[in-house]
Structure 1
Amino acid sequence: KGIVVFKLYCLAVMTLIAAAYTVALRFTRTVSSDLYFSTTAVFLTELIKLLLSLGMLLRESGDWGRCRSVVVSNILRSPVELLKLSVPSVVYAVQNNMAFVALSNLDAAVYQVTYQLKIPCTALCTVLMLSRSLSRLQWFSVFMLCGGVTLVQWTPPQATKVQVEQNPFLGFVAIAVAVLCSGFAGVYFEKVLKSSDTSLWVRNIQMYLSGIVVTLIGVFVTDGAQVLEKGFFYGYTPWVCVVIFLASVGGMYTSVVVKYTDNIMKGFSAAAAIVLSTVASVVLFGLQITVAFLGGALLVCVSIYLYGLPKQDPSRVQKPSSDGEDTQRLIAV
């Protein structure tokens, strides 16, 4: 009974984080004329993730001396490993910035549904990069999910309480780029993790160090002149801090609890996040729900559930098909 309660707790927290992050980010990009620089928010997110990973490594090591030894040997004296992890760092930096672009131009509910394209993208990368296979049901669910997203994007619902100028096509392109980045980086990181017995927290630290450098360069390349003129924290409000907090803590929390859940529960979490985002969008942004959106969202929710079902063929040993997605969720929030 205790395990069931804990799994339900994990499901509820994962769902709330996913929905709250999307809605809060959308809110911060549409309600203020003094718009903050998204590149600085992405940089701060990477910095906080690094600090949290150091804290988790310290806890895993048991004392500061052992933790320092691990950091020196695996990070300061391993430039090749840092270079190896710089690949997903760059890709995730692009992905996280694309999330801001997408939610500046698309409603949170539309974003939440469309972003589920990360599942077929991750599945395809898993097949190509890790030589795994998908069941017929999983392939069917992939095509169903793509059909549902197409239906949602065919006639996207409009938000009546958003006064800023939006470009839905740009938003969809941003999601497409984010999805491709998410799929590739998640599977690449999984491959690196399984190539050695190095701790997950060490790998995270290696990646976040590279991520900090990459995102800081992005700040000055993209918004350097304005940041120098207006300040690094220009436009920051308590809600912007909430977005950064959710982006930082959400991924770290998921990395701790995801091993206690299964694919079906993660599917329910994604579907519930879509429902919560939709309800919040109607209340906060005046989203006008259409039949096409409802139909597409339903197809996406069903496909997520079907994709998470275990393979039925008893003659084949079931490999953990969710590894790529799990790894992605550890670090991509």
Structure 2
Amino acid sequence: MLLRIFTEPQQGAGYETLLRVAKATEEYGFDAFFRSDHYLKMGDVSGLPGPSDAWITLAGLARETRRIRLGTLVTAATFRLPGPLAISVANVDDMSGGRVELGLGTGWFDDEHTAYGIPFPGLAERFDRLEEQLAIVTGLWETPENKTFDHRGTYYQVTDSPALPKPAQRPRPPIIIGGVGAKRTPRLAARYADEYNVPFHSVDDTGAAYERVRAACESGGREHGSIVLSAAQVVCCGRDEAELRRRADAIGRTVEDLRAGGLAGTPAEIVDKIGRFGELGAARIYLQTLDLEDLEHLELLASDVLPQV
């Protein structure tokens, strides 16, 4: 089981904070550093110093790290046109020496769109746009050199594109698709995803979502074992109850809620719950780390959880 650190910078984290966490992620032996792609805080926090662009910060981290994978969970298709997105991700992949992964989703947070003047169509259209973006981004990356790429869609038209630049990873960086939608999400994952992620759901609900994706793979003629399964869970670890409650208080959550709906407790408790996801077929767990000033938390996870999974 690979453990990945997953951050939410829109809640209040500048680049220097993200850099410290990314370097600790690498030093402590975790597999990857991921960040959300949001432009507005959620909940009762200040949000200072304000939002940061996911791919700009990942570009900086690409030059400051050497081993860990880097990516988004997930980039909103509403934020960027597919051609420029393919260029940006390919650039960061090259800057990192081929360590980038692209999580791509419909976008869901209406308020951040109105706060920054970003159009926010209805859900059906957002899924249609996501499907076209997946086709364009992967098509641009996979087009052979000295060939051109075209796409004639409802929302995007691409004509005689040189399909450059190419990412360092060939044929392309891994694509991650997440969510628990019953129909379109499994179909899109089966067609485009290298990894399917279930964020913030129970073990049972996660297992049901995995089964839907496996069925979609089989219906589409794809071997379901060829797609990596993963889950994202908020993490809160303490050596004892007092330390656990201190960390829960710091992120404005209760220990009881975190135990029920996340990965919370002693290292042994967390290892046990990770094992339950592993029994479903999960190969990666994204540890949503909300207090980015608490590097001792990462150190505890690295020393007492990571070696046991």
Tell me, yes or no, whether TM beats 0.5: no
Greater relative contact order, per chain length (Cα 8 Å cut-off, separation 6+): 1
Structure (1 or 2) with the greater helix fraction? 1
When normalised by structure 1's length, the TM-score is: 0.24
When normalised by structure 2's length, the TM-score is: 0.25
Structure (1 or 2) with the greater strand fraction? 2
